[in-house]
Structure 1
Amino acid sequence: MIKKLLTVSVTLALAFTGHAYAQGNSAGKTKAAACAGCHGEDGNSMMPSFPKLAGQHQNYLAKQLQAFKSGTRNSPMMAPLAAGLDEQAIQEIATYYSANRIAGNPAPKLPDNDDDEAPAKTDEQKKAELTALIAQGSDLYRNGDLSREVSACVACHGPFGEGNKPAAFPALHSQHADYLIKSLTDFKSGARSNNPENMMHMIAGKMTDQQIQAVAYYISTMK
C-alpha cells in the first residue's frame, strides 16, 4: 500500500512539474516574440551578426538579460528591450530558448578579399585556405597557444562546444562565425567585459585577429 502511495505521489509530482514547465515555456514563447526579428522565432537567428539563442543554457541566457537590464553589459539595442522585463519574464524567455534546438550552419566561406589589386584566388586555393584556417581553429580550441598564453577553449566550453551549465559558461557549437568574431574582438578591446574576473578579456586580449577568425570558423562547424 505504501509503495503504491509513493508511486502515485511521484507520478503526480512529475506531472505537475511537466505542466508547470510547459506553462512557463508557453509564456516564454509569447514574451520572446519581440526578439524574433533578430534572433529568429525559435532562437535560430538567420542573420550572422546576431547570435543564436536556441539550445543555450537557461542560466546563461538569464544572466545576459540581467546584465543588459542593469547596464553591466553595454548594448544600445538590447538595453531598452531588457529594461522592460521583470525577473519572471527573464526566466521564462531564457527557459523557452534553452528548450529549443540550435540549427547547424551551412559550410563556411571565407569573406571576399577587399584588395582589388590582389590576384584572384582559385577555388582550390580558397578551399585549401579555409581548411587550414579551420584546422588552426581546432588546434587552438583544444590546445590553446602556449607561446601566447592563450588558454584552450575546451577547458570551459567542453569538447563539443556544449559549455558548462553549472558554471554558466555558454554553449558555443553551431554559433554564427561572424557573431563569435565580434564577441571575441569586443572581449579583446574591452568593449565587453561583464564576465567573471574578465576571464574572456584576458584570453582574447592575447589572441591575434587570425586566431580569432580561425577559432570562430571552427566553432561554427561544431555540431
Structure 2
Amino acid sequence: MIKTLLTVSISFALLAAPGIAGAQGNAGPGKAKAASCAGCHGEDGNSQMPGFPKLAGQHKAYLVKQLQAFKSGARISPMMAALAAGLDDQAVDEISEYYANSKISANPPPVLPVSDDDDDAPAKTDDQKKAELTTLIAQGSDLYRNGNLATAVSACVACHGPYAEGNKPAAFPALHSQHADYLIKTLSDFKTGVRSKSKENMMHMIAVKMSDQEIKAVAYYISTLK
C-alpha cells in the first residue's frame, strides 16, 4: 500500500513539474529584462525613491498598456520613451509579468514634509503635527470613498476598489501602498494635462476638479492602504 502511494505521489509530482518549471521560467526572463528598470523602480519593483512609482504587484494588463503607451508616445516621458523603445512585445509582456508577480511593500507610517511648516508661524508640536496628519488622512479617506458632491469629484473607490486594489479586467491600476509623492505628482499631472493629451481622459476630468489639498489628502490616504 505504501509503495503504491509513493508511486502515485511521484507520478503527480512529475506531471506537475513542467507547469512549475514554466512558471519559474516566465519570471526568469522578465526579471533579467527588467534589470535596467531597477535604478528607479527597485530590483523587485519596490522603488525606494518616493518620486518613482512602485511597480510590484501591479496588474499585468495595466503595465503592458503603460509600456506600450510610452513606446507610442501616447504617454509622454522622455526617459521612459527611450527605455520602452528598445522593448519588443515579448519583452514588454515578460517584464510586466515579472512585476505583476512581485509583492508590493507596505509604506512606513506617513509624516508631513518639513516644507509644510510656515516659517513665520510658531513651530508645531509633535502632537499638532500628528493631529494635522490624522485630519489629512481622514479627509483623503472620505474623498476616496465618497468623492465630493459639491464639486462633482468622483469617488476613487468606483474604479480602484475599496482597498485600492484596482480592477484587473478593466486594467485600472492598483494604488495601495504606492508612494504619496508619486500619487500627488500623477494626480497633478492629470489635472494640468501633462499626463494625457486628451481632455476627455477620465482621470483628467476628475483631477481638474480637485483642489491641491484634496490631491494631497487622497494621496496620503492611499499610501497607507495595504
- Same fold, judged at TM 0.5 (above): yes
- Give the gaps of 5 or more residues in structure 2: 1-10
CA apart distance, 1:18: 3.8
Identical residues among aligned pairs (%): 71
Given the alignment, which residue of 131, 142, 145 partners 1:142?
145
CA apart distance, 1:194: 6.5
Task: Report the equivalent of 2:204.
Answer: 201
Task: Report the equivalent of 2:51.
Answer: 49
CA distance in 2, matches of 1:87, 1:197: 28
Is contact 1:108–1:217 with CA below 8 Å preserved after alignment? yes
* Aligned partner of residue 201 in structure 2, secondary structure: helix
Given the alignment, which residue of 156, 163, 166 partners 1:163?
166
Given the alignment, which residue of 177, 182, 195 partners 1:179?
182
Task: Report the equivalent of 2:5.
Answer: none
Is 1:118 the counterpart of 2:121? The answer is: yes
Task: Report the equivalent of 2:106.
Answer: 104
* 1:74-95 Cα distance to aligned partner (Å, 9 max, x none): 0011110000000000000000
CA apart distance, 1:17: 4.2
CA apart distance, 1:119: 1.9
CA distance in 1, matches of 2:198, 2:164: 18
CA distance in 2, matches of 1:67, 1:169: 15
Q: AA paired with 1:171?
A: A
Task: Report the equivalent of 1:63.
Answer: 65
Is contact 1:67–1:194 with CA below 8 Å preserved after alignment? no
Is contact 1:175–1:219 with CA below 8 Å preserved after alignment? yes
Decide whether aligned partners of structure 1 residues 114 and 121 sit closer, same or farther in structure 2, where only a CA change above 3 A counts.
closer
Decide whether aligned partners of structure 1 residues 98 and 72 sit closer, same or farther in structure 2, where only a CA change above 3 A counts.
same
Is contact 2:193–2:199 with CA below 8 Å preserved after alignment? no
**More divergent stretch after superposition (208-217 vs 112-121):** 112-121
The number of equivalent residue pairs is 214
CA apart distance, 1:42: 0.2
Q: AA paired with 1:131?
A: T
CA distance in 2, matches of 1:120, 1:148: 34
Task: Report the equivalent of 2:6.
Answer: none
CA distance in 1, matches of 2:23, 2:197: 30
Is contact 2:199–2:205 with CA below 8 Å preserved after alignment? no
* Aligned partner of residue 77 in structure 1, secondary structure: helix
Is contact 1:57–1:171 with CA below 8 Å preserved after alignment? yes
**More divergent stretch after superposition (117-126 vs 189-198):** 189-198
Q: TM-score, normalised by structure 1?
A: 0.91
Based on CA coordinates, which of the two structures has the bigger radius of gyration?
Answer: 2
Is 1:127 the counterpart of 2:130? The answer is: yes
Decide whether aligned partners of structure 1 residues 131 and 114 sit closer, same or farther in structure 2, where only a CA change above 3 A counts.
closer
Runs of 4+ that moved beyond 3 A = 14-18, 194-197
CA distance in 2, matches of 1:62, 1:194: 19
CA apart distance, 1:204: 0.4
Task: Report the equivalent of 1:5.
Answer: none
CA distance in 1, matches of 2:32, 2:48: 20
CA distance in 2, matches of 1:179, 1:218: 13
CA distance in 2, matches of 1:160, 1:115: 33
* Aligned partner of residue 61 in structure 2, secondary structure: helix
Q: AA paired with 2:154?
A: S
CA distance in 2, matches of 1:142, 1:50: 25
